[in-house]
Chains A and B, each alone.
Chain A
């Protein structure tokens, strides 16, 4: 049968606008979250993280908001630039059978910034 590709949600903005990328997570016990950015032809890069005892954390031009009540995470990018065009992933904890812990990644959102 025909294979269906993973269709990424896409957010298109104009340069200078503020962007908001959303992520819903599944495990109410998750206590740590990370946002990664993946530009074309590159691997994912760490942007910002947040622990569950916080509801907001700010970085340089980026802010992450955490709403544990509805299990929702958002990444806000101020004054979006063409260089911000990329796929953005949120990640939450993943327990391994070995007892270690690592991350599981969401499907991603593609951000397209027009000059």
Chain B
């Protein structure tokens, strides 16, 4: 099915470990986004990529890096995980003029 695919769905990390969250979309969308969701705070934008080859910081970029590998893929990396990064992460994509499509989320726990 067409859409946004995120992997993994669940992950537990120890403080200081690194990992990469993968996101891929097969809808030929230009823009891709990473959000984190915390209780009572809605979704906050971490990084976005308006088009292939460009990335920009969002509202809460500290502690994260991203790579727009190609038009389909937009990965989020935690170099040294901290308990404050325990959250649910959503990847989304959008074709300009149309709506957003979200992935099903990655639940990350940092202990």
A binds B: no
